[in-house]
Amino acid sequence: MTVCVKRAFRYRFYPTSEQAAELARTFGCVRKVYNMALAARTEAWARGERVNYNATSAMLTAWKKAEELAYLSEVSSVPLQQCLRHLQGAFVAFWEKRAKYPRFKSRKRSRKSAEYTSSAFRFRDGRMYLAKMKDPLNIVWSRPRPLPEGAQPTTVTVSQDAAGRWFVSMLCEDPGVKPLPATDSAVGIDVGLKHLLTLSTGEKIANPRHERRDRGRLAKAQRELSRKAKGDGANRRKARLKVARIHARISDRRRDHLHKLTTRLVRENQTLVIEDLTVRNMVKNRNLARAISDAAWSEFRSMLEYKAAWYGREVIAVDRFFPSSRLCSACGTLQDKMPLSVRTWTCQSCGTTHDRDMNAAKNLRAAGLAVSVCGAGVRPQRRTPGGPSATKQKSLRREP
């Protein structure tokens, strides 16, 4: 049974002044309803009560009838209902211990977005009409075919980023995404800073360092912003927008590079083995935080995993304590210490000279294949194979 993959196709559009005003009102109402519902649920939680989506939906109906909240009826009701569903999903993630307690949305810092279901938009002949709007959105179609043949969007999300750019994201089923032909190729992937990736095949992929390339421009724009008077003045808004545009340029280049890289790796390999790194803890190192954030290891792993699921590939994450750098890939001898400054080392047992990153990638590949073939767990090795501890284990197994 073939299951169609749902994909979101995002395009930039340029709204008219009337459309921009309507969307700005919708964003504000979505934020207001979300915060009011979160406050109501938090107060109920303190009283030992639990409020679900149905209860907040009934609250929304009552809020619209209040005189001071009458403006909620001026925008489409669908985005308001959708934000309540998103809040319910946030609470479910909190109860399942997958996320922290939901936070209130900020007018300046939170993402501006509104989600429309099929009852609140119409898509015909390449034109998108949203509820409460007479004219279609002026969308720039960056693909020859905006959506897969015969596909119709189920939900449409309109958003505006910090740089002031408008985007429309259409979620639909893509029948073109199918598992690729199986291969015998497996690759170990070691992430780094000097080289973004080191593959067990011997290939090293350079780190583009997108943030470093624009660091001078970004620092200058941030200095200009810091000199503006605090508040909502026009000059401060312009300076903040300039900083946001530089950040957007950096993130766009980084995302484009990672998309191309992960797509290539998934197409070429059946099994991809990576290390299960805790990036949130690693960025606490003030000397490396900026470089690690620029490398975007978490985003790389996320892309690799969902694309592997699309195309029938397998991603294996090896335990973060597995000594991939200190373990000799030729004979299995474990070195006692391996500072980060050591980039090349020679095994004392077999005399093989290793490139640190290349050796780690080979060890990751071997460990991942062990998991794939026999289901063995990948645990940190703290003794040299054949050493005293191994001999002791063999003698214990011989005892009745």
**Which amino acid appears at position 296 of this protein?**
A
- Distance CA(56)–CA(38), nearest Å, equals 9
Closest by Cα among 30, 24, 262, 22 to 130: 22
Residue with tokens 């749902």: 6
- Distance CA(216)–CA(194), nearest Å, equals 20
Closest by Cα among 186, 251, 195, 264 to 218: 251
Contact 87, 41 (CB under 8 A): yes
Contacts of 213 (CB under 8 A, 6+ apart): none
- Distance CA(184)–CA(242), nearest Å, equals 49
- Distance CA(50)–CA(42), nearest Å, equals 9
Catalytic residues, which ones?
190, 275, 357
- Distance CA(69)–CA(63), nearest Å, equals 6
Contact 72, 65 (CB under 8 A): no
- Distance CA(243)–CA(225), nearest Å, equals 8
Cα atoms in the Cβ-side hemisphere of radius 13 Å centred on 365: 21
Return the sign of the alpha-carbon dihedral for residues 210, 213, 217, 221.
Answer: positive
| C-alpha dihedral, 221 to 223 to 228 to 231, nearest 10° | 80
- Cα angle vertex 251, ends 250, 252, to 5°? 95
Burial (CB count <10 Å: 0-12, 13-18, 19+), residue 3: exposed
**Can you name the residues that pair with 74 across neighbouring β-strands?**
none
